[in-house]
Amino acid sequence: MCQGLSAPLPPFAALLSFALLFFLLAGGPVWAWRPWPQNGKMNVTDYAFGDSKKYEGSSEFVKLRYHMGPVLTTNITVHTIWYGKWDRNQKKIIREFINSISATNSPHPSVAGWWRTVQLYTDQTGANISKTVRLGEEKNDRFYSHGKSLTRLSIQSVIKSAITAKTRPLPINPRSGLYLLLTADDVYVQDFCTSVCGFHYFTFPSLVGYTLPYAWVGNSAKLCPGQCAYPFAMPAYIPNPKPFKSPNGDVGVDGMISVIGHEMAELASNPLANAWYAGQDPSFPVEIADLCEGIYGTGGGGSYTGQVLDARDGATYNMNGIRRRFLVQWLWSHVLNYCTGPNALDH
């Protein structure tokens, strides 16, 4: 289970957190994801640890290893911070995706089937990542308490404000809590749209008072849908672009769903940057979702999403939730040694 602390760290640990903070700010994009394809075709360089990081079916170049750190083996509770202005339907879409992760009766292919790949990862005791993911408390920050332009550091300040609020503060749950900060479509976050659509990390005790695994995901509908809401919007460099129809009628939020899934899967399997990842540098890990960027179905890679499904209304999806459909990228299975998802044709 995640070895987060329930009280502030002693001074020596605080110094360590300052060192990690420096690493985070100086090391460039960390735990970042860009869902759009990096080029229009696949070649051998796409299989190296570079900008693309797509591994659709080969394990020859993938050295995913376990580094003995904790994973989230107890029931995962997602505490959500809605930063900025969100309408009711947008919240419903995101809530239902999270609730669908543990739903047992969704039609195949299901969100719960997608999460089973995450469940296969274990800690050093052999305990699997929890199959139970549930919504926890929510906090609304409608008035942009830290402004409309956030840095990586100020994101942690937003989380601190949410857990220390005078009214209805979020619970402090370092052992199994996952703190999800979602920014509205008029909020800019450091590196948003250029090299990042979402990222995950953990809060520093010296800043927040606790070590809490968290993820940030932004709504790109106004700022950069072609970058972060792909394939419901297309990058300008793709010739003759024809975006997919979003399954829930909101390009920005439907694009966010896949990024949220990406970050939650990586938080569960690598919450403190010392569990499951490929590569030699923990400050630039290649994690279980990074390995499958842009892949949503069998045959995916490059600018091709792979075999996905079409709803009667023409919307595109690859998995079912409780009442809605979603398009979510695949994940790397260390058992199969390739990317997989519930809609795989070889299942």
Please enumerate in sequence order all residues whose Cβ is within 8 A of that of 249, keeping only pairs 6 or more positions apart, or say none: none
Q: Report which DSSP code applies to 201.
A: E
- Please tell me whether residue 135 adopts helix, strand or coil conformation: strand
pTM attached to this predicted model: 0.85
* pLDDT tens, per residue, the chain with 347 residues: 333 323 333 333 333 344 444 444 444 334 455 565 544 333 222 222 233 333 333 445 578 999 999 999 999 999 999 999 999 999 999 999 999 999 999 999 999 999 999 999 999 999 999 999 999 999 999 999 999 999 999 999 999 999 999 999 999 988 889 999 999 999 999 999 998 999 999 999 999 999 999 999 999 999 999 999 999 999 888 777 789 999 999 999 999 999 999 999 999 999 999 999 998 888 889 999 999 999 999 999 877 899 999 999 999 999 999 999 999 999 999 999 999 999 999 76
Of residues 256, 253, 247, 248, the one with CA closest to residue 215: 256
Bond before 231 cis per omega within 30 degrees: yes
pLDDT of residue 105: 94
- d(CA 220, CA 202) in angstroms, rounded, equals 23
332 and 291 Cβ atoms separated by less than 8 Å = yes
